[in-house]
Structure 1
Amino acid sequence: MHFEELFDEIGGCNEDEQKFKVEEMNELIEEMSKDEFETMDRKNLFDKITKKIEEKKLSMENAILLLKIVGYCKVMKKIYLFGFISDELISICVPYLLKVALKKEESEEVQKEVEMALLALCCAPECYDIEQKLYLNELKEIILYHQEHHNLTRLAYQFVWKILISKFSSGRGLEGMITKELHFVREARRELDELTRCIDWKRKDEKGEKETKEELALLRWIQKLNRFFYSCQMRNEENCNLIGSIVRVIRAENDDNGDFHFFCIQSLRIAAENRAVEVEDLLKGEAIDVIPVEIQRQTLNHNLTWNYLQLILKISERLIEKRDGETNKTKRKELKRKIFEKMEEEGYEDIITSFHIILHYLNFNFFNFLPEYYGDFLVNI
């Protein structure tokens, strides 16, 4: 394979010759199909890179140049890189990648370089227990600077958040910084709203159409929200606005069983289940409105039906439970009245009647136990 031949020749080259060969290898990687990239012996490649760095046969700058394109292609070709990069290589590369990611020039060339560095960094936090001191302050600086100067590409901004959210959902206690200092909820809402407006939803429904960059970006943001809601505990005044943005995506997608629909309702279900948002936020964000309309579609698959029914269950449970230290019972009673009136108005009562056995059953079983023709059990309004 020409790629391997070029890499083996690197050890005997000077700095400039190395760079030329690395650039040639990068071009070969970019031209690979997804199948070719998956069959590539990446573990062997990373081990060789580590060895050449240690033997001083490959400069750090050229090693990073090669690793960045591998990380970039891994993401763009939708391939999950797991268990290949050694701890030694991670500890060597992370500081250098962060140094590149901290560049603040707004030229197209630098933006691309920063984007690729951040994408390469995304391989590491998913798989390895990196010390916070190796990345936390730098990533915080990158986000704050972008929020003021808008120097990052949309993809780069997404993946700097991906690194932080992956650590937060691993129990690192970063919620205060993520929500209060970096305003994740506000930023996620803005991104969701902008991308929802950018997408041509009618074109998306046409079979065989390739996903656009905007569609992929929106899907990644929604998936990040799933991870965020799993660990979120702090009350945030902007939560109801974020719920509203998620609901707008559901309403925008015409495909009953599309990826956006699934991940959006999953986010709402996780948020309600893990106390990431108040029930009042779900009401104000119109999540209550969308449940009866969507769940009665006869074409919904079991995954979506299960998530909708679980969302109903969690909302109901939270409305009837007694809160610790509750001081305003009148306010809680009024909230219950508003929600039940809204659900009854939209057909909630008929849904409960239709599923009065299945709802209870769901507490003890997984969604795959739903009847094959669950739609036949629905009362059509």
Structure 2
Amino acid sequence: MSSQNTDECTGAILEMSRTEKFSEMFSELERCNEGAQKQKILEMNELIDEMDKDEFVSVSTIELLYKINHMIYQKKISMGNAVLLLKHVLFCNVLLNMSSHGFHVFILDEKFGKMIVKEGQKKKKRNEKLLVYLCECYLFFTYTIWPEMISICVPCLLKAALKKEESKEAQKEVEIALLSLSCIDFLSDMEKELYLNEITDIIKYHQEHRSLTRLAYQSAWRFLIDRFHKDYSLKDIVVNELHFAREAGRELEDLMKCIDWKGKEEENGRMEVIFIRRWIDVVSIFFNWSLSWNEELAGLIGCLVDLFRASRDNYVEIRKQCICSFEEAVRNPTLKIDDLLKSGAVDLYLEEMKQSTLDERLEFECLQFFLKISERLIEKRDGETNKTKRKELKRKVFEKMEEEGYEDYIIGLFHNICYRTVSDSYLIENYPDCFFYL
């Protein structure tokens, strides 16, 4: 090729979009030997990391997965190289909260499942790296996990996540292993002996040495908190030994400092916003299932209040997630009403109810919040046996609502909502019994 033609070709490549480059590189894979394939896939993975969400959506398609499956079938790509590409695509799917489930489950999960079982049963000459990659891909896109698969995948990935190497490559591998574990459905049966010592060691080691990435640490907690659903005996480890509320609050506070809250969401770092949203999800799950209280919970509620105020103008989705967390908190009988008062959560709801731009759904959620507080302050419903203390709490809440006409505003808001949603039996039935007891 002449020098002029080479320059023209190089210029054309530079002008190609990232999605076009990805497609072209993918089409070249089947013409490469295994070593060249691996190098090209590593370059494709780097290209994916540079894409914005719209670009990534355009390349992460069912067609791509069909093509990879077809190349595997025709032996035009090695299984090691196939999963190297697949796990990165699926990793990004999960990270961006895009569904990786269902649309290709019939293509690859059965194939991968059989390979995992076959590789996992080997006593000698087991390809540990391939097994880890297969397990990660399998967990990233599988809805229901067979018990046999859990018994292989969980120990395999926890072993990978226990690595204490400090290189970026090692940290990335740990991150992917923990993220894939966090995708295991909370309904999946799992004996504590299979995971508890390992995941506890991973979390404790990070607390002492800061060895994990932000995403890896959050994923480790998500995996553990999801086990809460079927095993409340974990509460002492989660609350008092590993200090979930303290750690979640600290992580959220650190992430909040990384964002210019006055700017638009799209102008800020994508990853920090994603991490904040993932942490709020885990906090909501914790509030829903935890039946243990300590003083660190009040600090976590205060952190969510700060986050809500920061996100109020430009970060609608974060704001909505905070509201959902507060709803779970007020329903949790072990979280004290006094914590909601001291943290500023009650003030926050009162402020929101006076916003002229408050939509109907948020109006409804605000009223539900106060009805739940009222219900819990009724004798024998709050778990607070000290009658004098309960009476003092009622007085504090009433004074908050009375300030600047909030009480009248809430009553008017209730009537407006009832006229719009006459079918809401909870509001209609509980309003007279709960609200006026304040």
Please say whether Structure 1 and Structure 2 have the same fold, judged by a TM-score greater than 0.5: yes
| In 2: Cα distance, 1:256 partner to 1:328 partner | 43
What residue number does 2:190 align with? 131
For residues 279 and 348 of structure 1, the distance between their equivalents in structure 2, rounded to whole angstroms, comes to 19
Among 361, 365, 368, the residue aligned to 2:424 = 365
Whole-Å separation in 2 of the counterparts to 1:256 and 1:167? 34
In the alignment, which residue of structure 2 is the partner of 1:117?
177
Change in CA separation of 1:221 and 1:326 when aligned onto 2, cut-off 3 Å? closer
For 1:34, the aligned partner's letter is V
Give the direction of change, closer, same or farther, for the CA distance of 1:341–1:43 in structure 2 (3 Å limit): farther
Amino acid in the other structure paired with 1:365 = D
SS at match of 2:230: coil
Of 262, 275, 295, which aligns to 1:237?
Answer: 295
Distance 2:337 2:226 in 1: 26
Which protein, 1 or 2, shows the higher relative CO under an 8 Å CA cutoff with sep ≥ 6?
A: 1
* Structure 1 residue 345 displacement after superposition: 2.1
Q: Deviations over 1:158-211 (max 9, x none)?
A: 11112222332x333333322222111111111122222332111136xx5355
1:151 aligns with 2:174: no
Distance verdict in 2 for CA 1:9–1:347, change over 3 Å: farther
Amino acid at match of 1:147: Q
Question: Could you tell me which of 208, 213, 226 is aligned with 2:271?
Answer: 213
* Offset, 1:239: 1.3
Q: Root-mean-square deviation (CA), in Å?
A: 3.7
The verdict on how the C-alpha distance between 1:112 and 1:306 changes in structure 2, with shifts beyond 3 A counting, is same
Q: Return the alpha-carbon distance in structure 1 between the equivalents of residues 29 and 158 of structure 2.
A: 25
* Distance in 2 between residues matched to 1:186 and 1:356, nearest whole Å: 36
Cα displacement (A) at 1:144: 0.8
Match of 1:193 in 2: 253
Structure-2 separation of matches of 1:155 and 1:29: 18
Q: Which amino acid aligns with 2:386?
A: N
Q: CA deviation at 1:113?
A: 2.1
Q: Compared with structure 1, are the counterparts of its residues 197 and 332 closer, same or farther at alpha carbon in structure 2 (3 Å cutoff)?
A: same
Q: Tell me how far 1:242 sits from its aligned partner.
A: 1.1
Deviation at 1:40, TM superposition (A): 4.0
* Pair 1:180-2:199 in alignment: no
What secondary structure is seen at the aligned counterpart in 1 of 2:60? helix
Q: How is 1:44-63 mapped onto 2 (pairs within 5 angstroms)?
A: 58=79
**Which residue in 1 is equivalent to 2:56?**
33
Contact 1:230 1:276 in 2 (8 A): no
Q: How does 1:60-79 map to 2 (within 5 A)?
A: 65-66=84-85, 68-79=87-98
Residue from 373, 376, 382 that aligns with 1:315: 373
Cα distance change on mapping 1:122 and 1:9 into 2, 3 Å: farther
The Cα offsets for residues 55-105 of structure 1, whole Å up to 9 and x where unpaired, read as xx746xx67645542342213443122243455545354433322211112
Q: Is the 8 A contact 2:171 2:212 kept in 1?
A: yes
Conserved? CA contact 1:98–1:135, under 8 Å = yes
Q: Which of 304, 313, 316 is 2:362 aligned to? A: 304
Q: C-alpha deviations, 1:331-360, integer Å up to 9, x for none?
A: 211121122112222543122331343577
Secondary structure in 1 matching 2:415: helix
Instruction: Provide structure 2 residue ranges, at least 5 long, that are not aligned to the other structure.
Output: 1-22, 117-137, 139-148, 429-438
**TM-score, normalization: structure 2?**
0.69
- Displacement of 1:310: 0.7
Name 1:350's counterpart in structure 2: 408
Note closer, same or farther for the CA distance 1:76–1:325 as it changes in structure 2 (3 Å cut): closer
Alignment length (residue pairs):
355
Which residue of 336, 342, 346 corresponds with 1:278? 336
Which deviations, in whole Å up to 9, do the C-alpha atoms of 1:227-266 show, x marking residues without a partner? 2211121122211111111111122224287112211122
* Counterpart for residue 345 of structure 2: 287
User: What's the TM-score, normalizing by structure 1?
Assistant: 0.78
Aligned residue identity for 1:37: S
Specify the code of the residue in structure 2 equivalent to 1:97.
L
Which residue is 1:379 aligned to? none
**SS class of match (1:203):** coil
Unaligned stretches of 5+ residues in structure 1 = 370-381
Amino-acid identity (%):
45
Residue 99 (str. 1) matches residue 159 (str. 2): yes
The structure number with the bigger radius of gyration is: 2
Contact 1:143-1:182 within 8 A present in 2 as well: yes
Corresponding residue of 2:16 = none
Q: Conserved in 1, the CA contact under 8 Å of 2:160 and 2:174?
A: yes
SS at match of 1:202: coil
Which amino acid in structure 2 is aligned with residue 126 of structure 1? Answer: D
How much has 1:106 moved relative to structure 2?
A: 2.1
Which is worse superposed, 344-353 or 18-27?
Answer: 18-27
The CA deviation at 1:366 is: 8.7
